[in-house]
Amino acid sequence: MSLKSLFHSKKFLVFNFIILAMIVGFGIGVGVLGLNGTWNPRSQVLAEEKPIVVPESVYDMQNTFRQIAKNVLPSIVEVHTISPASAQEAPDLPPFDYFFGPDMKPNKAPQKAPKSEGLGSGILVEQKGDTVYVLTNNHVTDKATKISVTLYDGRNYTCKLVGADPRRDLALISFQAKPDDKEFVLAKLGNSDDLQVGDWVLAIGNPLGLDFSVTSGIVSALGRRGGPDDSVNIDSYIQTDASINRGNSGGALVNLKGEVIGINTWIATPNGASVGLGFAIPINSAKRPIQDFIKEGYVQYGWLGAEVRDLSREQARDFGLSSTHGSFVPDIFRDTPADKAGIEPGDFITAINGKPMKDTTSLVQTVGDLPIGKQAEFTIIRDGKTITKIVTIEKRNEKEVRNLKLWPGLSVTPLTSDIRDQEGIGKNVEGLIVAQVQDRSTADIAGLKVADVINKVNGVSVRTLPEFYRELNAHPDHVKIGFNRQGVELSIGISR
């Protein structure tokens, strides 16, 4: 078909008519929509809006959080420190100094030692006259040459270190109030022993320099162990999922009463940021140190005067114990609170002042918190019987401890097939193998060694832990030990 014929054909006229109708219809539609306003997106959204119903309980919780923040924030401070920079923090040398050395450049002014600035949080906890005390973490102020704080209302003060305790990671700093200062808001300290898993808590501090931030969460767990320096710190921690980051250290963990129940201290994280695993020192572990810092400048720890350790299930079974909850006493220091009270090697301590001991860590912490010079009741299992001993707690003196005599100064454990194979001990050898000998102890001086197999105490055969300690304590001044060393039967005497 020719182009001219196509233009005049019936099909082409129908096609044109359809296209024209579509264009006219679209134009009319747009005009109508524009005139009656239904094209307006706002009117479409408004037509679908529904009233939002919020339960009163949610508003109550929100108001509670608001009130807590309002009450507690004025008692929180931002802690600024300046410390000597470590080798890793020292700035790189300029290229000229790298190649020629700093002393090779003539007329060079002396350079100041590099410094490191730190940031943390603190809590206003006490005021005596014009002196205001701030509780924070030891790792916030450690090695600091200059410490200052900024209050919630913007006031700034230079501080001095009152006292620090690395074992608990606590420090107390202070500043002097000015004559025209308005009243300081001190934090209300709660009772961390009342906490339960699931309780609501708020974390308040200065994470990453974002001053006076408030986050919320719950108590995820209690009595957590560990920390950045597990070998030093004796505290058990409150675990929370309230967001805690760098800069929160030393800040407050608060309950719904607005009471401080913890000092935010560290986080567990794979990347340096909060992943909901924050840890706080229970405030009850800080109450006495605060007063010790103010009075003495250091924390006074209560002292029992005994070596303590956990028992394995096998060892507990050997003693006839139904549980490993508690702490075993293998040795006693002479002329100490434990010795004077009649606690003996082989005793198993299950409670102090009625408080059950979970393990050795809980016992060490509990004894450390006991008031110096006061009496405490120790519940003990000895020879299958439960007895109590009243101990007068003394202050720990590290110098004196190093000079005290430890009795008997060794730990023994039953022979097992694994131990026999490991040490090459034949089945014909019976007794208790020496697992540890304390340096400079009575046993060490007498010549007992690890892997000796003790089979007699004062001529009486011993095969179990209760038998060994029963015979040991039956002769408190002098004991004759019979033992096997690499197949040779020997005996020595040890004196208390």
For the chain, 496 residues long, the average pLDDT of each consecutive 10-residue run is 48 51 50 42 56 82 94 96 70 39 47 78 96 96 94 96 94 95 95 96 93 95 82 80 92 96 91 87 94 93 92 89 94 92 96 94 90 95 94 83 81 89 89 90 90 93 92 87 92 87
Residue 10: per-residue pLDDT: 52
Closest among 202, 200, 205 to 215, alpha carbons compared = 202
DSSP letter (8 states) at residue 319: T
- Give residues with Cβ within 8 angstroms of 334, minimum separation 6: 404, 405, 406, 407, 496
Q: Judge contact between 472 and 346, C-beta under 8 A.
A: yes
Q: Are 265 and 225 in contact (CB under 8 A)?
A: no
Coil vs helix vs strand at 159: strand
Residue 160's identity, in one-letter code, is K
Active-site annotation holder among 75, 121, 139, 285: 139
How high is the pLDDT of residue 44? 53
Angle at 366 between CA 232 and CA 230, to 5 degrees: 20
Q: What is the pLDDT of residue 448?
A: 92
The active-site residue, picked from 249, 274, 327, 441, is 249
How many whole angstroms separate alpha carbon 318 and alpha carbon 195? 36
pTM for this model (two decimals): 0.74
Distance in angstroms between the alpha carbons of the first and the last residue of the chain: 128
In single-letter form, the type of residue at position 183 comes to E
| Site of tokens 């090779």 | 104
Cα separation, 57 vs 53, in Å, equals 12
Question: Does 142 participate in catalysis according to the annotation?
Answer: no
Is the CB of residue 214 less than 8 Å from the CB of residue 121?
Answer: no
478 as an active site residue: the answer is no
Identify the CA nearest to 304 among candidates 357, 366, 380, 355: 366
249 is catalytic: yes
Q: For strand 302-303 and strand 278-282, is the pairing parallel, antiparallel, or unpaired?
A: unpaired
pLDDT of residue 103: 45
* Of the candidates 189, 178, 241, the residue with the CA atom closest to the CA atom of residue 72: 189
Which of 121, 89, 428, 388 is closest to 249 using CA atoms? 121
Q: How far apart are CA 264 and CA 283, in angstroms?
A: 10
CB 338 within 8 A of CB 345: no
Query: Can you tell me which residue has the tokens 């600035």?
Result: 117
Tell me the residue length of the chain: 496
| Inter-axis angle of helices 284-296 and 360-369, nearest 10 | 40
Report the pLDDT value the prediction gives residue 22, as an integer from 0 to 100.
56
Query: Domains in the chain, start-ordered, CATH in brackets?
Result: 192-296 (2.40.10.10), 302-403 (2.30.42.10), 406-495 (2.30.42.10)
- Kind of pairing, strands 394-395 and 385-392? unpaired
Q: What is the pLDDT of residue 386?
A: 95
Mark out the alpha helices in 155-275 (DSSP H runs): none
- Rounded CA-CA distance 303/288 in Å is 15
User: Which SS3 state, helix, strand or coil, does residue 305 take?
Assistant: coil
Q: Which entry of 169, 235, 241, 292 is annotated as an active-site residue?
A: 169
- Give the separation between CA 170 and CA 172, rounded to whole angstroms: 7
